[in-house]
Amino acid sequence: MKFLAILLGTILGIVLFLGIVLLIIYLRLKKQFRELGIPIHTIKEFREEMIRSREQDRTRVKSISGMTSLTLPTIREDFPEFNEQELYAKTEEGLRKVFSALEEQDSKLVAEYPLIRDSISKVIEDYKTSGWKEKYDDIKFHKFAIYQYVKKEGIATITVSVALEYYYEKRNDKKVLEDFTKYKKQTRYQVKFIYIYDESKVGAAKSLAINCPNCGAPITVLGHKYCNYCGSAVKEVNLKAWELSSYVEF
């Protein structure tokens, strides 16, 4: 009995201590919110407010930064026939095909983009091995802007910022049901396009990440239509067009 009384006393002491700690944390949070003018009165309301804030962030269209008005005059000096709306259309088309390739797990859907095809193929192979699958539904593009323009070593690069939304789903058939997410996602991407205006100044093609779609060997000379290692046909980079070279979510 004495041992049981000591045990119960110890447990009650721990519970009391934890209760005091939680009360102190709650009172401090309440004070901070009061100072900020936020009427949070209970822990439950605080949790609900955090959930609402997270949901609003998911559904609010993302803002993007750009320098379109500053960069366009310079771009048009170098490329008089440049049309930013056409580049925005290519941005949307390229991202839609990337999403389709990832969803269908088929790199052939991005065959026309030799500069990103190899990296997407690797992602697809990793997903196939691990059992992950993705879906991108109801894709909507909201805003476009030219973020940056650079000319260097015979290559002109334009970076486009884009805000978009989609219903995103990711699941793993090899794992338990908890490994599943589906929600409406507001996000942003930066998409880079290159234009090779002076082939003589461009270094090794490895710097452009051009690889054979069959064996993965680097294409060492711009404009080659066949791989020197396995003889497979290679889609050459169009030296006189804006080619999608990379994309990143941010």
Q: 243 falls in which pLDDT band (50, 70, 90)? A: very high
Predicted confidence at residue 206, as pLDDT, reads 41
Provide mean pLDDT across the span 194-213.
67
Predicted confidence at residue 197, as pLDDT, reads 86
Predicted confidence at residue 92, as pLDDT, reads 98
pLDDT in tens, 164-173: 999 999 888 7
Residue 48, pLDDT above cutoff 50: yes
Q: At what angle do helices 84-104 and 114-130 cross, to 10 degrees?
A: 30
Provide mean pLDDT across the span 132-161.
94
Q: How far apart are CA 113 and CA 33, in angstroms?
A: 51
Q: How far apart are CA 146 and CA 75, in angstroms?
A: 11
Q: 33 falls in which pLDDT band (50, 70, 90)? A: low
Q: How far apart are CA 217 and CA 64, in angstroms?
A: 37
Predicted confidence at residue 205, as pLDDT, reads 45
Q: How far is CA 121 from the centre of its chain?
A: 16
Provide mean pLDDT across the span 181-187.
87
Predicted confidence at residue 195, as pLDDT, reads 93
Residue 74, pLDDT above cutoff 80: yes
- Asked if 217 and 201 touch (Cβ cutoff 8 Å), the reply is no
Q: How far apart are CA 29 and CA 126, in angstroms?
A: 44
- Asked if 155 and 144 touch (Cβ cutoff 8 Å), the reply is no
What average pLDDT does the structure give for the chain? 81
Q: In three state form, how does the secondary structure of the chain look?
A: CHHHHHHHHHHHHHHHHHHHHHHHHHHHHHHHHHHCCCCCCCHHHHHHHHHHHHHHHHHCCCCCCCCHHHHHHHHHHHCCCCCHHHHHHHHHHHHHHHHHHHHHCCHHHHCCCHHHHHHHHHHHHHHHHHCEEEEEEEEEEEEEEEEEEEEECCEEEEEEEEEEEEEEEEEECCCCCCCEEEEEEEEEEEEEEEEECCHHHCCCHHHHCCECCCCCCECCCCCCCECCCCCCECCCCCCCCCEEEEEEEC
Q: What is the pTM for the complete model shown? A: 0.68
Provide mean pLDDT across the span 76-87.
94
Residue 212, pLDDT above cutoff 90: no
The residue among 52 and 25 whose pLDDT is bigger is 25
Provide mean pLDDT across the span 102-115.
94
Lowest mean pLDDT among 10-14, 19-23, 231-235: 231-235
Residue 158, pLDDT above cutoff 80: yes
Residue 44, pLDDT above cutoff 60: no
Q: Which CATH architecture group holds 64-249?
A: Roll (3.10)
